Structure 1
């Protein structure tokens, strides 16, 4: 799997997980969704994403 595809898979999974936790466990889990969204926005402006750094160290190719 390529780096960008893995990043999209992880982001989408985390958003869906946090939304499920918001509905099923506690409404405060919505802040986790907000955190993920803010991280995606900051990475668009700074061209740096912590998850990309982790995925590169795990051996994913660009």
Structure 2
């Protein structure tokens, strides 16, 4: 798995978790979905994401690296 795929998988999980928390706990959890979406949007342009740093530290490689 690459860093980029791990970021998208983690973001998808966080969106689903946020929707569940919004539905069952508090409507304010919708802001977690907004944060994840904004982070994905800026990651598409800058290739910087805090989760990507963690995945890189765990030993995952960027796409295209041997």
TM range, smaller chain: 0.7 to 0.9
Which consecutive residues of structure 2, in runs of 5 or more, have no partner in the other structure?
none
TM-score by length of 2: 0.83
TM-score by length of 1: 0.87
Which consecutive residues of structure 1, in runs of 5 or more, have no partner in the other structure?
none
**Coordinate RMSD, CA, aligned:** 1.2
Count residues with an aligned counterpart: 62
Indicate the structure with greater helix content: 1
The separation in 1 between residues aligned to 2:4 and 2:45, in whole angstroms, is: 17
Q: Does 2:30 align with 1:30?
A: yes
